Amino acid sequence: MKPLHKYLIKRVLAYVATLYGAVTAIFFLFRLIPGNPIEAFIGQIMATQYTEAELARSLVEQYKKEFGLEGDLFTQYVNYLKQLLRGNFGVSLLGFPRPAQVLILQSLPWTIGLLGLSAAISWMLGVVLGAFTAWKRESKIGGTLAGLAIVFSQIPYYIVAVLLVLTFSYMLGWLPARGAYDPRLSPSLSIQFIASVVVHGTLPALSLILTQAFGWFLSTRYLTISLLGEDFLIYAEAKGIKPSRLFKRYLFRNILLPQVTGLGISLGFMIGGQIVMETIFAYPGIGYLFSRALGMLDYNLISGILILQSFVVLTANLILDLIYPLIDPRVRYYE
């Protein structure tokens, strides 16, 4: 068997095994938590229903079936895997009687739009500025940015979010503090609605960009400085290559490889949302949905979000494993 085929089979098998392990762990983790909020939910419904014994038993059995609580734990696990293969996460307690995947699909575009754009902007700013200021180490701007980066990178994004809300929403009144758009508008592709989305997303995005960009800045700066003394740069400089070409073609391309990997992994975790940030701004993303599901111990919804995040993170890692040898010729399709 060719090294390429062995490499592909090994990575795909590891991907499938890890994903299956994650799904299994997520299922049993929440089923083994003491208490059963679904039975409490059924009890609340029964309190408002006609309480004839036969009707009560049939209603309880119906809801147990809908929530996947029939049989012992192993039977529930097998049925859950069957439903999962059909793309069904089960009925959501939070949005009963709608399936969990419907609520997830409604919240997912908001998270992808906000966090994806914020991650891309912060990555580009951090990588470019970090590499350039490390290349121009003698400049005062580089030293100032490095000092600011050390300070801001240690401040949690939710602290920045609270400060931004206090300043720009309550003190100055320039930007809204909650929501994803003006509640008086209906979602559409109109300029008015898009402008409202941008205005409402400014503070949440800014809280992430300010903290994440400085983190990328520091990692890129340290990586660049570590490469400045490498033999290939000294040799290229001795050949008389112009500094601008030396920076773009020799230094920056080597910096991008690990940073692209880091970006891919961070975009995978993005699917889980930013729970605290989305809760602060009441932003209708996956993180806000997850916090509400935790409050009700909505097993199906919590499991669905965690499984989706695991799937995206593992898939992103698999794609990076498969294409990395094409990006970096030093990496081969065998170990």
pLDDT of res. 218: 83
Report long-range pairs for 164-167 (Cβ below 8 Å, ≥24 apart): 164/203, 164/206, 164/207, 165/203, 165/280, 165/281
238 vs 91 pLDDT, higher one: 91
- Are 284 and 183 spatial neighbours (Cβ–Cβ below 8 Å)? no
Decide if pLDDT at 131 tops 60. Answer: yes
- Are 208 and 285 spatial neighbours (Cβ–Cβ below 8 Å)? no
- Are 237 and 246 spatial neighbours (Cβ–Cβ below 8 Å)? yes
| DSSP track, 4-73 | HHHHHHHHHHHHHHHHHHHHHHHHHHHHTSSS-HHHHHHHHHHHTS---HHHHHHHHHHHHHHTT--S-H
* pLDDT-derived band at 69, boundaries 50, 70, 90: low
pLDDT of res. 263: 76
Angle between helix 37-47 and 53-66 (nearest 10): 140
CA 239 from chain centre, in angstroms, equals 45
Decide if pLDDT at 202 tops 80. Answer: yes
Domains and CATH numbers, the chain: 35-86 (no CATH), 100-327 (1.10.3720.10)
Angle between helix 100-135 and 140-152 (nearest 10): 150
Cα separation, 27 vs 20, whole angstroms: 11
- Tell me the pLDDT tens digit for each residue of 4-26: 677 778 888 888 899 889 888 88
- Are 93 and 298 spatial neighbours (Cβ–Cβ below 8 Å)? yes
Cα separation, 189 vs 168, whole angstroms: 27
* pLDDT-derived band at 40, boundaries 50, 70, 90: low
- Tell me the pLDDT tens digit for each residue of 91-116: 787 777 788 888 888 888 888 888 88
Which of 46, 89, 10 lies closest to 333, judged by CA?
A: 10
For tokens 């039977």, the residue is 75
- Are 60 and 46 spatial neighbours (Cβ–Cβ below 8 Å)? yes
62 vs 305 pLDDT, higher one: 305
For tokens 């909650």, the residue is 178
Q: Which residues pair with 91 in a beta bridge?
A: 99
